[in-house]
Amino acid sequence: MQQNMAIPGLSSSSLEGLSVADLENLARKSLRLHRNWTSLSPLPSNKLTIRPSSQHDRVFRTFEFLRVENRSYLLTFTIRRAPEPLFSLQCWDLNVSETPPTCVADRTVASYGLFAINRQRGSRGVVAIQLLDIELLQINFSAQDPASAFRTIAKIPETKHRLVALHGSLIVTQDEQENLHISDLSKPEAQLELHRRGKISQKTLEVVIQGELIIIVRLDGLEIFSISNLWSKEETTYPLVQHIWQWSLDSVSVAPQASWTPRKYAPINILLRFGSLLPWPVNLIHQFILHLNPSYDNTKPIASGNVPYEIVPTLRCQIGSPVRLFSNYHMAIGSRGTAVWIDNHTEDYFGHGECGQRLAGTLLATSDHQDMHEDYYEAESSMGSTVFEYCESDEWTRVAIDNNEGMIAVGHLDGTIVVREYT
């Protein structure tokens, strides 16, 4: 725990009620995962395959891991635009060894829609969806019929705002002018507009909520807002601090650094690719950390001169990661600093560079001691630290990671999702 290593099967930092045998088993799992996870070529202990039904064939599919009551699930989100619109949200039980995962919850309607997974673990509502209304959904995992397992527990009726993010009961939406708004589903009257400053882009790529702050990662900058006045009569708030990226972003993945020590604010890992003037992005992945501000005084109100985070993210490392024109590439960063990505560095395996993909990764941060402010920079090799898998075709589309449980999910062009376990 002092090294902040992942411990599969442990849901909280409390060890009360665990026997000596339980503790020994958790320690073995943690060490085994760490050795495998950080080796040059990790070997999966299990592979689970989720195949789309015929009605979901040839669709765009995104997915996220979900951890509920010490069990692992995968939420999949499907949109089909032709021949008729289809919206499908499904939850798959991953707590199996060999048999295909079972769909335990299914909401499928003939419509377009959006979804946002709840980033606050343990919340009553696990996901929000938007069809005509925005609905906060709970999952009844004991339901006999998957079609009835998703239950609506809160709703924003007939809103024109677009669903962006969900954290606990706080929901972030975007209006028709691309302005962001935050509201509390438990108190519908609590609403606040997050008003940008200057000429920074309105396009939002990621949203993170920590304590009384909301961090907005935009196409060309990063903003930190205080939301402590959400429940007051104020209707608009402006960023406390603002940072402009050196170049506009192509893509980004963001995750607060998990810790076994409870804390209100956590350092935030930012994994990104910059865009370029060419039709493909820069062939480098950069990791930045938004460090905690050592000068922050928690006895005083949060203000522009007293912010829990530093203004400028610190560059932690850069990793060579080439991509080809019109190829699929994607990346994700886990809660304990493990980055995974899909790129096209395959010459070392196939002797050619016209096609092929690799699933690579590296451990970027491991302990709370490293998360304290340090001038730390390292240049990774073009291969990265770890290669999980590679293929000779271009069939992978996206990747997701459950850092604590040692699981990686990879999506394929035909809608298939393969979940690899490394415990």
Residues 239-248 as b or e (16 or more Cβ within 10 Å = b): bbbbbebeee
Supply the pTM of this predicted model: 0.92
Q: Residue 198's CB: how many other CB atoms inside 10 A? A: 8
How does pLDDT run across 254-311, given as a tens digit for each residue?
999 988 888 899 999 999 999 988 877 889 999 999 999 999 999 999 999 999 999 9
Angle subtended at Cα 116 by Cα 112 and Cα 120, rounded to the nearest 5 degrees: 165
DSSP code, position 54: G
Q: Which pLDDT tens digit goes with each residue over 62-116?
A: 999 999 988 999 999 988 776 788 889 999 999 988 788 999 999 998 888 899 9
Q: 25: helix, coil or strand?
A: helix
For 385-401, the pLDDT digits (tens) are 799 999 988 999 999 99
Query: Rounded to whole angstroms, how far apart are CA atoms 158 and 168?
Result: 21
Look at 154 and 61; give whichever has higher pLDDT.
154
Mean pLDDT of the chain: 88
Identify whether the C-beta of residue 5 lies closer than 8 Å to the C-beta of residue 383: no
Q: What is the pLDDT of residue 54?
A: 64
CB 172 within 8 A of CB 182: yes
Torsion, Cα 210 213 216 217, to 10 degrees, reads: -50
List the domain boundaries for the chain. Answer: 247-392
Q: How far apart are CA 168 and CA 184, in angstroms?
A: 9
Maximum mean pLDDT: which of 118-127, 189-198, 377-386: 118-127
Predicted local confidence at residue 215, as pLDDT? 98
Q: What is the mean pLDDT of residues 156-183?
A: 92
pLDDT per residue as tens digits for the range 213-244: 999 999 999 999 999 988 787 789 999 999 99
Higher pLDDT residue, 47 or 79? 47
Give the model confidence (pLDDT) of 182-200 as tens digits.
999 888 788 899 998 887 8
Contact 360, 383 (CB under 8 A): yes
**pLDDT classification of 371: cutoffs 50, 70, 90:** very low
pLDDT, residue 13, reads: 62
C-alpha distance across the termini of the chain, in Å: 17
Q: Is residue 29 pLDDT above 50, yes or no?
A: yes
- Give me the pLDDT at residue 8, please: 87
Q: Where is average pLDDT lowest: 42-51, 286-295, 359-368?
A: 359-368
pLDDT of 52 > 80? The answer is no
Written as six digits, the tokens of 198 are: 């200057």
On whether the CB atoms of residues 281 and 229 are closer than 8 A, the answer is no
Which stretches does DSSP call E strand in 197-283?
204-210, 213-218, 221-226, 236-237, 241-244, 249-256, 268-274
Q: Which helix (H) or strand (E) holds 180?
A: strand 180-184
